[in-house]
Amino acid sequence: MLTALNSPTILAIESSCDDTGAAILSQGNILSNVVMGQQAHRLLGGVVPELASRDHQRKVTLAVEEALIRAKIHMGQLDAIAVTNGPGLLGSLLVGLAFAKGLALALDKPLIAVDHLDAHVLAHFIGPRSPQFPFLCLLVSGGHTQLVLVRKPLCHEVLGATIDDAAGEAFDKGAKCMGLPYPGGPEIDRLAKQGNPLAFSFKFPKVQGYHYSFSGLKTALLYFLQAQQREDKDFIKNNLNDLCASWQKTIGDYLMTKLEMAVRDHGIQHLGIAGGVAANSYLRQKVVELGRQQGIETYVPAMEYCVDNAAMIAQVAGYKYGQAQFAPLTIEPYTRNLPKSGVMDL
Ligand code: KG4
Ligand code: ZN
């Protein structure tokens, strides 16, 4: 865990995208971590922001109540209320933020604002085994792909990032091209287990430094599928498992190229992956293999702490509480990344 000066009891709320999360941190431990997903987007091919915010409104109270019940904590025991204030979907963020502000005001407790990306990166500190600073973190989610050098808590240097789509989008859009429901990442991961990863190959985009690009890769898949379907209209159906395994390998291997470069260039000894795509079984396996080959320590968070969750928000909030980093009730949400290209020291 991240060292805090004292051990507060904190309720954290996460509503940046399409999962409503609430968690309780107490004495440095996560006592509960409730995530309520949203089914509405599944067949619509992606997150519909208006539906997402309405669903957060319906679920936020339920999620918070459930988190308190599971943790056996009552409101009066809370020392602070934490909430994600960005980046994410504006409407979704507003629901969590308004709820958290209201509760902080009503209970007369401090509000702690947490950056969603910081929380993904620092999710490694939930649980018994965590990296030593400085460590390298590949942050791969539905909205972000970044290689982050984490010098100390909340002091993150972004070495590289995607210049267009995120790795999660590459999974989701690839899945959509294959007729699979949203979110496509877990579907591809599941079907790939029955497929041949060497059946099809796609060329890696050439992008300088530690940056990535996924939009050209997705277009290459789309054109490939269209061409094959002209010969065989059932091409996707007949090759679905192989397509998933090959697409997963392409994304995973491409992510690994820049990761390996950064490990080498920066003499990295501790390496982690974070974000929803870190739940991918192929990527997890590649990172562990790299660690074994290079003799470096690798950290792959439990699945529930890879995808969006409030436990990671609570974890950062515990640290911020110790530093007395509280937010005013006037704080506003932000939709895009905080400017972190280069060194960011909060
Ligand atoms: O971190 P996250 O839950 O939400 C964002 O902050 O975006 O990440 C969601 C992304 C989606 O693109 C989803 O398809 C992907 O994570 N994902 C996966 C897997 N599980 C979730 N991608 C590949 N393999 C998985 N097992
Ligand atoms: Zn996320």
Q: Are 104 and 188 contained in the same domain?
A: no
Q: What is the pLDDT of residues 2-50, one digit of tens each?
A: 755 568 999 999 999 989 999 999 999 999 999 998 777 777 778 889 8
Percent of the chain with pLDDT over 90: 89
Going by alpha carbons, the residue nearest to atom 24 of ligand 1 is 280
Supply the CATH number for residue 137's domain: 3.30.420.40
Which residue ranges in the chain fall short of pLDDT 70? 1, 3-6, 338-346
Helices (H) and strands (E) in the chain — how many of each?
10, 11
Residues sharing a CB contact under 8 Å with residue 232, sequence separation 6 or more, in sequence order: 238
Averaged pLDDT score across all residues of the chain: 94
Q: Are 146 and 275 contained in the same domain?
A: yes
Ligand 1 atom index nearest CA of 169 = 12
Going by alpha carbons, the residue nearest to atom 10 of ligand 1 is 142
Angle, CA 295 vertex, CA 291 and CA 296 arms, to 5°: 55
Ligand 1, CB within 6 Å, residue ranges: 17, 141-143, 168, 171-172, 183-186, 189, 275-277, 279-280, 307-308
Among positive and negative, which fits the CA dihedral 338, 157, 315, 105?
negative
Ligand 1 atom index nearest CA of 175 = 14
CA 276 to centroid of ligand 2, rounded, Å: 6
- Backbone region of residue 159 per phi and psi (left: phi > 0; alpha: psi in -120 to 50; beta: other values): alpha
Q: Are 42 and 156 contained in the same domain?
A: no
CA 180 to centroid of ligand 1, rounded, Å: 15
Q: Are 141 and 280 contained in the same domain?
A: yes
The two tokens of residue 83 are 């909430």
- pLDDT at position 271 is 98
Q: What is the pLDDT of residues 114-149, one digit of tens each?
A: 999 999 999 999 988 999 999 999 999 999 999 999
- pLDDT at position 37 is 87
CA 294 to centroid of ligand 1, rounded, Å: 27
d(CA 249, CA 199): 10
Phi–psi pair at 65, nearest 5 degrees: -60, -45
d(CA 199, CA 104): 55
3-state helix, strand, coil split of the chain in percent (to 5) is: 45, 20, 35
The two tokens of residue 71 are 């943790």
Q: Are 179 and 283 contained in the same domain?
A: yes
Q: Are 117 and 91 contained in the same domain?
A: yes
151 secondary structure, DSSP code: E
Going by alpha carbons, the residue nearest to atom 23 of ligand 1 is 185
Provide the residue range defining the domain that includes 17. 3-124+305-345
Number of structural domains (the chain) is 2
